[in-house]
Amino acid sequence: MNEAVVQEHITPELIFKKITNIANFSERKAELARILTIHKNSISLQDYLALEEVFHKSYDFESAIQILYTALEIHIDNQFLLKLLANNLYHANHHEKLEEIYKKLIALGSKDFPVFNELLKSFISRKRYDLGLEVTRQMMVNFPNIHFSYFNRANIEFQLGNIDQAIKYVFKTLELAPKFTIAFRLLIDCYFKKNDFSQAYNICSHIIDNFGYDQHLLSKMFYIKHKLTITKYDEYFDCQALVKIKSLPQKQSESLNDFGKFLLNHQSLSPSTEDYSTRNGFHTGSIINENNPLMQHYKEYIYNTVLEYLEDISKKIPAISVFKSKNFELSGWAVRMGKNGYQDPHIHPAGIVSGVFYVSVPDVINTTTSNEGWLRFGRMPSDFVLSPEDREMVEYIKPEKGLLVLFPSYMWHDTVPIDSPQERISFAFDLVTK
């Protein structure tokens, strides 16, 4: 078959199938480059977009980047392609290249707010707050009626330690968007920096009482309760009452080892980046809706257990009861940790209820005298400075194979570092509203 005929029949589906069948990363990259070199002039813009979409959705951002750079050789300075490229560069942590693309978009005259906002996010992720400050100045000039312009400035001033300036721009933000709870979160952080916990409590309490369930604000209230002698909201942080543990029935555990193999061999499993709380470990993308019999089997078990838990917890936490009439779905991903693996303290801001299902645990967890590898509730990030006289509110859960642990998404949790070379495989998830 001659090359002209091959070019006529090339499709995004065929390219995707051919590339994903190659396991070695370098070989995949080389083969994709070969295909794109041969066919780049015959692939339509629509097919380039379809190719990018299918690789992006499979979390193969490197291939998506390769495709978009090729498309831009044909469709020079196409702003839509440049924005897609920037998005994939962000997910692949190529921040210097990302910044080049956003600067190019701005040079092309883009007045698109997200372009400025994404450039700012890149600077913030690299802690280049000096450059971020200049971007926020441009945003306030170009977008004076968008509250995010002032919020971004407040955030940069906060990162630079200019707390009074940060407060000033938070209040400007709230003038434009009085119910913008993210601004209230930053305002509370400002008062934390000023050690004004009474003011932080007043703001946090007002928002919780009037705006309802907010994972970030409840996690901040937990810190405030370490600093102030208050009993209000105690029910929100009663670990023994709110954390539910359930062991997998023996009948349903027969395929657990096979489920572990499925998770370990998943194509999206990749080293955790700084965006995740996992250290010295691996993450998949959200895979809970994949059409795999094992995944669907355990998804059903998790989902039914979560709904039972939601019904129970709604009686204890009134703010959660408003979600009972909502439509729900699960977001879930696998986590693999080995020697020196652990998770930093974190919450799940996208969830209502969160949890972890232990697929495999190292032997040392059963013999440790120092809670090695255990799940821990109540320890907060180092940003929250505690004193010896502050209240201690920490609880530990021992992981076991087949154990399902459920908790409100705002509860701080982490894992104790584990020294064992044996792998710990777990499946983490959030219940979110559709």
One domain, residues 50 and 198: yes
Per-residue pLDDT at 87 exceeds 60: yes
Within a domain: 233: no
Residue pair 64/29 in contact (Cβ under 8 Å)? The answer is: no
Residue-wise pLDDT tens digits, 280-291:
999 999 999 999
pLDDT at 90: 84
pLDDT at 2: 43
Within a domain: 83: yes
Rounded to whole angstroms, the Cα distance separating 177 from 365 reads 49
Residue-wise pLDDT tens digits, 241-281:
999 999 999 888 889 999 999 999 999 999 998 878 999 99
**Residue that finishes a domain, picked among 227, 248, 265:** 227
Residue-wise pLDDT tens digits, 177-204:
999 999 999 999 999 999 999 999 999 9
Per-residue pLDDT at 325 exceeds 70: no
Q: How far is CA 89 from CA 74, 122, 260, 409, in A?
A: 20, 10, 30, 29
pLDDT at 210: 87
**Residue that finishes a domain, picked among 194, 227, 260:** 227
Within a domain: 353: yes
Locate 318 and state its tokens. Answer: 């009134």
pLDDT at 7: 45
Per-residue pLDDT at 392 exceeds 80: no
Within a domain: 416: yes
Q: Which amino acid is at 181?
A: T
Per-residue pLDDT at 216 exceeds 90: yes
Rounded to whole angstroms, the Cα distance separating 143 from 150 reads 9
One domain, residues 223 and 250: no
**H helices within 177-214, ranges in order?**
181-193, 197-211
Within a domain: 310: yes
- Burial of 282 per CB tally in 10 Å (0-12, 13-18, 19+): buried
pLDDT tier, 93 (very low <50, low <70, confident <90, very high otherwise): confident
Which phi-psi region, left, alpha or beta, contains residue 85 (left: φ > 0; alpha: ψ -120 to 50)?
alpha
One domain, residues 284 and 214: no
CATH assignment of the domain containing 352: 2.60.120.620
Distance separating the N- and C-terminal Cα atoms of the chain:
49
Count up the domains in the chain and report the number.
Answer: 2
One domain, residues 251 and 183: no
One domain, residues 360 and 266: yes
pLDDT tier, 5 (very low <50, low <70, confident <90, very high otherwise): very low
pLDDT at 6: 43
Within a domain: 196: yes
Mean pLDDT of the chain: 90
One domain, residues 166 and 282: no
Q: How far is CA 300 from CA 279, 293, 307, 404, 406, in A?
A: 29, 11, 11, 13, 15
- Residues belonging to the chain: 434
One domain, residues 166 and 77: yes
Per-residue pLDDT at 3 exceeds 70: no
| Cross-strand bridge partners of residue 376 | 396, 414
Within a domain: 337: yes
* 144 HSE (CA, 13 A, CB side): 1
Residue-wise pLDDT tens digits, 99-127:
899 889 888 888 888 888 888 888 888 88
Rounded to whole angstroms, the Cα distance separating 425 from 152 reads 38
One domain, residues 147 and 243: no
**Residue that finishes a domain, picked among 175, 195, 227:** 227
CATH assignment of the domain containing 183: 1.25.40.10
One domain, residues 221 and 311: no
pLDDT tier, 78 (very low <50, low <70, confident <90, very high otherwise): very high
Per-residue pLDDT at 4 exceeds 70: no
One domain, residues 287 and 421: yes
Mean local confidence (pLDDT), 382-403: 86
One domain, residues 134 and 247: no
Residue pair 432/351 in contact (Cβ under 8 Å)? The answer is: yes
Within a domain: 232: no
Mean local confidence (pLDDT), 210-219: 88
Rounded to whole angstroms, the Cα distance separating 180 from 32 reads 45
One domain, residues 219 and 244: no
Range of the domain at 356: 239-433
